[in-house]
Structure 1
Amino acid sequence: MMTIKYISALKHYNSSIVSTMGHERIGHLPNTKRWRNIVNELTEFSPKNNNVASIANKTTKNVVSQLERMNQDKGVLSSFSYLLNLLHASRQGDPYTYLEKNGITLSPSFSLLELARSIKQFNQANCESNEYATIASQALIDTVSIWTRQEQQQTTLFFGGEADPFEPWRRAADAGGFSEISRIYFSNFIGRYLRYFLEREASASFKTLFDRNDFNNRLDKHLNEISKSAFETTKVTEQFAAGWYNKNALKQFPSSNDVKGFVGYAIKKLKNNLVFNLNDED
């Protein structure tokens, strides 16, 4: 059930990612020649020559080489810390005061738009690499949007009326909920990272609006496959997330070292799983 709901929601957000990420100039492309070759293959995509699997494989290989640089990045860690603060606040008697003390300001009955702005502000104040921080904050915005809308729909369906804005996070603030939402986060993170580099390279490669629009249409087809693959890949994070949360975050906010350890281990697991799948396909 969770997988079906998530994939459905993820398709909805895929359509908006092109406009939000394609215009942000937040760094330099690694291995530009490799990415340009992938973009060139995308321009040759056609129903008669369905090379989605090959492109996805090459894209994933490029991303694998970058993952190790992220697991200690301050912006990535602050993004995940924001999520943990939101979960921890939901269990407090006065969640707004708790968040305020930890550098997060939200108004009563805050909206998703306000939450997104708050995430960006928090990451901008706690980052080193603007590139990784932007991708991480966008991935977190995707995650809280998917989770909030999913949970609010269920609340309205069964109980009616307006829900407490912290209620979705209370349902995420246990071992089972955390394992699900952390999987969504890392799936969004990988998907955002893949799309970001492909779109940045496309911006440098295409000279006309027609070519760019044509590329975006092809990219959407390609990234639907990548998104599904990313979600399946991040299943490995569920195997230890629940246990980690019960031990480190259920009764207290985890230490910075605990957060760093979790994010680093999660990214390491994702990298190893991606490498294993790629080698299995070779």
Structure 2
Amino acid sequence: MGHIRLGTLPQSKKWRDVIQLLESSAPLENVAEAAARASELDLRRASDDPTFQFVAQLLVKLPLLARAPGFEAALSELGVKRSALDSVSGLLAGLNDAITQHNFDNGRSSDAGEMGRAALLESLSVQMRGQLPTLFEPTPQEIRKALASFASGQNFAVLARDFFARLSYRSLDYYLSRELANHTGVGKRFADDAARVEFSRALSQHTFEASRIVEEFAGGWYGKTVWKEQSLSQDKINDFTRYAFKKMRSELGRRRTSV
């Protein structure tokens, strides 16, 4: 099975700009915006990647499937066993297997798809657990109800923000992690590994704060597309992810100029 990798940024002028910012100890906001600008084309193409499209489809459609009759049958069509609803971890494992099977059926995987997969599973894990009882193990009915809760515009917006925050951080880290080691040591930007880890932690927080822009429009998009127009085609989902990437890139740029 083939694997599609993202571009090799170190050869581009935009990536050299990122390196110069790291060498000059520029503020994190500047580094994040420059890295986002350098990776913009690859992220724009992610919306056309079959694996990422499948992940985005799960993000948008799973809450609706959980809310509608025949949820177990719908999961089976995705390749997820009905027993997956016995626990949150079981559901996540089932979705992970479904994505793997999708890659196998298409004969390839991709970096964009794998980052999307990780972001989706992490977001569902965190956001669903926030909707579930904490004293006892949730029942399959409670797990389904928690997932279905994201079929409202407001709750979907929260889930979408979490997803794109994690995805944006992973995409920036995908490129930056290759370079940060070259700037760690005595007399360099990061005195030691602890300083480099702190930079990564701050970058994660920065992308989460920037992702607020996604939350602001995702709920309205969901309500209009799902409930008003009742038109949730793959093209509509692709347009949504493209716009989310565009807004994240714009917000990272705005935050740089406001520093």
Alignment TM class, shorter chain as reference: 0.7 to 0.9
Change (3 A) 1:28 1:63: closer
Q: Which ranges in structure 1 are unaligned for 5 or more consecutive residues?
A: 1-24, 207-213
The one-character-per-residue Cα deviations of 1:241-263 (angstroms, maximum 9, x if unpaired) are 12221222248571111111211
Matched, 1:137 2:113: no
C-alpha displacement of 1:240: 2.3
In structure 2, C-alpha distance between the alignment counterparts of 1:32 and 1:60, rounded to whole Å: 14
Matched, 1:165 2:151: no
In structure 1, C-alpha distance between the alignment counterparts of 2:130 and 2:161, rounded to whole Å: 15
The one-character-per-residue Cα deviations of 1:6-27 (angstroms, maximum 9, x if unpaired) are xxxxxxxxxxxxxxxxxxx973
The one-character-per-residue Cα deviations of 1:121-172 (angstroms, maximum 9, x if unpaired) are 33331566511111110111110111122222xx336xx6634211211221
- Provide the residue aligned with 1:190 in structure 2: 168
Of residues 222, 238, 249, the one that matches 1:271 is: 249
- Indicate if the aligned counterparts of 1:35 and 1:201 stay in contact, CA closer than 8 A: no
Of residues 36, 56, 59, the one that matches 2:35 is: 59
- Provide the residue aligned with 1:181 in structure 2: 159
- Provide the residue aligned with 2:59 in structure 1: 83
- Provide the residue aligned with 1:258 in structure 2: 236
Change (3 A) 1:248 1:28: closer
Q: Is the partner of 2:48 in helix, strand or coil?
A: coil
Q: Which ranges in structure 2 are unaligned for 5 or more consecutive residues?
A: 184-190
Task: Give me the TM-score of the superposition, normalised by structure 2.
Answer: 0.75
C-alpha displacement of 1:40: 11
Task: Give me the TM-score of the superposition, normalised by structure 1.
Answer: 0.70
| Identical-residue share of aligned pairs (%) | 21
The one-character-per-residue Cα deviations of 1:177-208 (angstroms, maximum 9, x if unpaired) are 111111111111001112223334568x69xx
- Provide the residue aligned with 2:186 in structure 1: none
- What count of residue pairs does the alignment treat as equivalent? 240
Alignment-mate amino acid for residue 5 of structure 2:
G
Change (3 A) 1:67 1:79: same
Change (3 A) 1:215 1:32: farther
- Indicate if the aligned counterparts of 2:35 and 2:172 stay in contact, CA closer than 8 A: yes
Change (3 A) 1:179 1:165: same
- Provide the residue aligned with 2:214 in structure 1: 237
Q: Is the partner of 1:151 in helix, strand or coil?
A: coil
